[in-house]
Structure formats: C-alpha cells, structure tokens
Homo-oligomer: A and B are copies of this chain.
Amino acid sequence: MATLKDIGLSAAINILSAFVFLVAFAILRLQPFNDRVYFPKWYLKGLRNSPRHAGAAVRKFVNLDYRSYVRFLNWMPAAMKMPEPELIDHAGLDSAVYLRIYFLGLKIFVPIAVLAFAVLVPVNWTNNYLEELYRGNPKLTYSDIDKLSISNIPSESHRFWAHLMMAYAITFWTCYILYKEYELIATMRLHFLASEQRRPDQFTVLVRNVPPDPDEPVSELVEHFFLVNHPDNYLTHQVVHNANTLASMIKKKKKLRNRLDYYELKYSRNQSKRPTTKTGFLGLWGEKVDAIEFYTVEIDKMSNEIEKERERTTNNPKSIMPAAFVSFKTRWGAAVCAQTQQTRNPTIWLTEWAPEPRDVYWQNLAIPFVSLTIRKLIMFVAFFFLTFFFMIPIAFVQSLANIEGIEKAAPFLKPVIELSFIKSFIQGFLPGIALKIFLIVLPAILMLMSKIEGYTAISSLERRSASRYYFFLLINVFLGSIIIGAAFEQLDTFLNLSANDIPKTIGVAIPMKATFFITYIMVDGWAGVAGEILRLKPLIIFHLKNSFLVRTERDREEAMDPGSLGFNEGEPQIQLYFLLGLVYAVVTPILLPFIVVFFGLAFLVYRHQIINVYNQEYESAAAFWPDVHARVITALIISQVLLMGLLSTKRAASSTPFLLALPVLTIFFYRYCKNRFEPTFKRYPLQEAMMKDTLERAREPNLNLKGYLQNAYIHPVFKGEDDDENYEITKEWEQGGLVPTKRQSRRNTPLPSKYSGSSSPSLPEVIQEQT
C-alpha cells in the first residue's frame, strides 16, 4: 500500500523523466542535421528542403543561434496554433479526428475530476473507518490513498448515496459529451466528403465476387452487367489484376537503379577511377566488373522482363481477379450502387464503396465469399486462444531460456556465461524477454489475422485489429492486473463464478489496485508520450542509415521514416485510459488528475507530431469513430457493473438497485447513437450526392470525368514503370485533390498557392524560430 508520499515521489521521478525527454527533444529538434527526423511531413509535402544553404559547414549540423534555445518549449503553443480546418487540409481528417479522441478524454475527465474532488474526496476523507478497522492490528497499515477512496466508507453507510449520485452524474456527463462529439464528427465527415475536391472514390464502387462466366471475360461481363442494371449511370470500370509477381520485380529493379545511382554519383565525384563491383551476393564475391556498365545492363534486362511480365499480367485472363472498380457518371449513381443489392444471390456482385486508391489492400480483392466465413471462424478461434492461452507457449520458452538450458545447448559458451555479471544479467533479463517480444509483435500478429480475414481496405484492417487489440488489453492488462494470474486461469475462475460474483470479485479488488494503476499511467502514459515526441528510435536509425547506407537522395528520403498514427496500436491504448478513468472516478477519484494530465500531454504531443512528423498512408474520413464511441461506452458499462459489484459487498443494498438502471440506459443510449449517427459512417446520403453533382454540372459542364477516373484505380505497379509506388500515388493524390496548404517553410522557395493572395496569418512559430 503506497502512501501519498510514495505516489508523490514516483510522480516526481516520472515528471522529471518526461521533462528530460521534452528538453532533449527541444534541443535535438533545433539541430539542422535532425531536421528530417523531426519534420519529415514537411519534406514529404515538398515544402522543406535539406538545410544545404549558405553558412558555415558546422551550421549545417548544429544550431548555434542561442535565441532559439531560450524559447525551447515553444513547440507547445505552436502545436496548438494551427486551426482545425487547416489541420484537416494539412494532415487529413483521420488525423484531426484522432486528436479529438484525446480532446474527448479532456472534455470528459476535467469536469468529472473537479466534481469528484469537490464531492467524493470530502465524503471519503471525513470517515475514520480504515483508522478504526486497523487500530486493533498495528501490523496492517492503510495508505492515504485508501483514505481518499471508497474503502474508507464503512459498510451500510448512507454516504454511498453520494457515490451513487456521482455514478449517475458521470454517466450522464459522459453520454452527453459522447453524443455531442459523435454529432460533430459526423458533421465533419459529411463536410469533408462533400468538400470541394473531386475524388475518384466518390464516383467508384468496388465490386467483388463477380461470378465466373464461360462465355465472357470478367471485364466484358462487368461492363454488360452494369450497362444493363445501371443504364443511366454506368461510366467505366477497371478490372483488378493479380500483380504480385510484377510488384516484386519492380521492387528489385528499383534496388538496381539505386545502386546505379550510387555508383554514378561516386564516379561523378572521382572521375579518375571507374567504380567496380562483384557480381555475387551483395557485391561481396564473384567476378569483378565495371559497376556502372554492369548495373546498366542489369537494369535493361530487368526492364525487358518487367515489360514481358506486364504484358502477361495485362493480357492473361487468369491474372484478372473476379473483382472490379466500377465508376459512375454521378456521385448519385455510385451512392445508389454501393447501397443496394444487385442480384438474387447476395454473395455475388457484392458492391461497396471503393476505398480511396491509397487505402486499397490489393491482395485481398479476390477472396470468394464462402471462404470468408471460414477464415473468420478460424481467426475467431485463433484469437480466442491467443487472448487466453498466450502465456502457455511463452512460459514454455521462458522455462527453456534459462542458464542451464543455454549451457546444455551450447556447452562452449559455459565459461562466458558463468561470469557473475553476465549470469545475473541473463537471469534478470531472459525470463521477461519472450513476453516482451510477444507484446511488441502482437499488433503485427493481429494485423496479419485481419489480413487473413479478407478485408479489402487498409483502414478496415486497422479498425479490425484495433478492436481485437482492445479486447486483448482489457483481458490481459486491465483484468490481468486486478486479478493476478494468467488469462486462462482467470477464464477458469470466471467460468466457475456466478454472474453475481464476477463483478463482486473484481469490484472488491479495484480500490486496492489504484496505486498500481497510478504508477502505470505515469510510466506508460506520461513518460511514454514524452518518449514518443523524442522519436529516439527513428532518430538513431536515421543517423545510422545516413552514415552507412544512404547512397542517393532518394535513399535519404526513405530513411526518414515519418511513420503514421498507427490506429490499430494507438487507439486501444488510449481506450485503456478511458477505462481506468471511468472505473476509478467513483472508487478512487485521486487517480483522475493523472488521467487528465495524460490526455493533456498526449493531445499536445500528438498534435505536434501530426503536424510535423506523421505521414498518414490513407484517408478513411474518420470511419473509425463508431468504434471509438463504442469502446468508451463499453468502458462506461464496465465501470457501472464493477461499481455495482463493489457496492453490493459493502452491503449498501438499498442503493445498489438504483445502479441497475445505468447499464440499461447506457446500452439504449448506445443503440440510439448507432441508429442516429452510424449510417453517416457507412452510407452516403443521396441528397448530398445529388447536390454535389448538380453543382459540378453547373460549374464544369464539359468535364471529362471518364478521363479523370480511367486510371484512378489501377494497381500501383501499373502506374509508373520505375518509381516508388507510395511516392507516386501520394503525389498523384495531391495533384488530384488536396488543397495546397497555406503554410510554407521559410527555407523553401514559396510555392504558388491558391491562397497566395492572403498572407498566412497562422504561420506557426515552430517554423519561425528555426531561421
């Protein structure tokens, strides 16, 4: 039982470490040679170039301007300055709405924390229950934290009415905020979808499970089907090719081209000596040849092969998958087709909104309907075992990976291992390593499972993985920390507990775990978030790559690794804080300020990262919000049920029945919201589509839509012969759609902008101070 002092000490340590991270970040990011690590977003947008301009060589790498160090925390207000509409233009709606999750946390927990401190802390503190309880037992101690929590209220006390009222207040407040937020985000989504830009996915529908036809190839079949069934709206279509071989060949060619660039660069610097290479693996052995000649020939060879493969892929009917992107003359036509059933058999000619081109997960487009159910079944079983029994193989690996095991397997290592400090290191380190590796790769495993399940868009893959990751965290982190024991032991316990006893068992344990979770929030939340802004791993990797591997400018571009938000990993972790906050709000309100600090800090940090670092790979227009909403509701219901369990053990029998209404009301609130808002995230209203169509017809009567849509949904490998695919698409995307941002780096030649007439009033300091 930690005292308030312990918690204070721990808080001080964590605040200090977070502060150290922040200071380190503030200093590192000002150094020009780190520029690509801390501002990759601007490089990718083409609004910032490498700092190779005038000045001494040393200034290329180190910032010597003392003034910029004085204002080292200025990134915080700077991160706040970009207004939300501009943020949406700059980083996409997904990122902007992702930030609103943190903001939602603040909006929910700040008033709750104030109220809880005003009401519950005095109610709890003014009891002497724990004091009296432990007076007889000098051995047992209680902490100040416990004195502030519900544990300090004697059984059958009338004071529990305060907690009950508080539970109602929290539920209503949370629901109110959730409702407002859902409403707002639905509006933002609709506004985003209806905004001025024309986008290929507005006109396009993904058709899957095109039935095989002996007489017609897929392409003609699709054309005929839609000409017949959507005669007034059908415009064009693109079949989907199985281009995985081609993709790998293009990747190989790109590597060769990179080598060639490197040697040409080398030669241009030192023209006295033609560079040589060896033909074998990685240029390490084999015949010695002239490098430039060798790679030129290799590239030519590869180009020919690629041309052949492309020919083969394009013309071979077997490489055409039974799926197609069908485009319509109007948004209305696409909206109609995406929302209706096409044929009697609802498992063929499946239509759905096309994801935006960047978001398509090409490999999954050809999975037949029957196999989908089987894949889902297998993944369901696999996930069940993964969640509840993952400890078994890990414990097995741990039992193997001890000193004796290593000595047995590799006797020659014995003298080294027996050294005492190495021995103690191994003994301290090894047992945990299997678990740690597992937890690190877990999101990747879950992502793989989602891919096997056959989702066709990267965004839906991430949403699916996120919901599984949340469940895993709920079982193994939240419940696992409260009820000590592996998940499969818990499963057994819960199967043997009655429906009444489960909330009681967990509820009783909850107040005792408050200090543990406070520490967890500080370590994982505070320090973790501060660590995120430092980007230690990308920083190190970038400099390593830059020193040893980077051969060309393109390599440097790739070494930047801006990363992205990683919804599948990040969001479930945020949800854990919602869960902790809601569960402890009534039980141990002292935990709330820690949650609030987490949300505030994370909001700031991620806003900064989204503006300057992350490069979102796709745009789903906040399609994930219904999931976020549902998970906060889940946390709310869990908190209500656990409070019921806790209160029933306190023999506050007269108040417990009043709590019963809360989960019922919350579930109905959830259903209401689902009916009210979810269609906005699944469907596209016809009125919007019609309005947009009419407007467009009036403005651009001679628009060549067919030309615009012709190649929008072509497999990335067919786009450009020799270029990095992501890069290609991103560029095309920006040309096609996004409004040029208002912000410009001063280091950069100002780009002509649509808004160039208006000087940019929101030019953030983050850029100003770097000059």
Question: Footprint of B on A, CB under 8 Å?
Answer: 186-187, 190, 228-230, 232, 335-336, 339-344, 346-347, 349, 369, 373, 376-377, 380-381, 494-501, 664-665, 668, 671-672, 675-680, 683-688, 690
Contact = CB atoms under 8 A, between A and B. Distances in A.
A496 B501 CA distance: 7
Contacts of A495: 498-500
A380 B664 contact: yes
Nearest to A376: B668
Contact of A684 (B341, B381, B668, B690): B341
B342 A340 contact: no
Contacts of A341: 339, 679, 683-686
Given A664-B380, A668-B373, A686 B229 contact: yes
Query: How many of these chains are in the complex?
Result: 2
B494 A685 contact: no
Given A347-B676, A498-B497, A373 B687 contact: no
Nearest to A191: B344
9 contacts: A187-B344, A336-B340, A341-B679, A341-B684, A342-B687, A344-B685, A346-B678, A347-B675, A498-B501
Contact of A685 (B335, B343, B678): B343
Given A190-B344, A376-B668, 6 more contacts: A229-B690, A335-B340, A339-B340, A342-B687, A344-B685, A346-B679
B685 A373 contact: no
A685 B345 CA distance: 9
A647 to B, nearest CB: 16
Taking chain A's interface residues, is the majority helix, strand, or loop, or is none over half, making it mixed? helix
Contacts of A347: 675-676
Given A232-B232, A676-B346, A340 B373 contact: no
Q: Closest 8 interchain pairs by CB?
A: A346-B679, A373-B672, A341-B683, A377-B668, A339-B340, A343-B687, A495-B500, A496-B498
Given A232-B232, A376-B668, A498-B495, A686 B340 contact: yes
Contacts of A688: 343-344
A295 B671 CA distance: 55
Contacts of A232: 232
Given A229-B686, A373-B675, A664-B381, A340 B340 contact: yes
Q: Indicate the member of A340, A495, A500 with the most B CB atoms within 10 Å.
A: A340
A338 to B, nearest CB: 9
Contacts of A380: 664, 668
A340 B683 contact: yes
A157 to B, nearest CB: 25
Contacts of A494: 499
A675 B498 CA distance: 34
A652 to B, nearest CB: 18
Contacts of A677: 346
A683 B350 CA distance: 13
A698 to B, nearest CB: 14
Contact of A498 (B346, B498, B680): B498
A242 B380 CA distance: 51
B339 A339 contact: yes
Nearest to A497: B498
A498 to B, nearest CB: 5
Contact of A229 (B501, B665, B679, B687): B687
Given A499-B494, A499-B499, A342 B672 contact: no
Contacts of A187: 344
Contacts of A343: 685-688
Contacts of A690: 228-229
B498 A377 contact: no
A507 B682 CA distance: 43
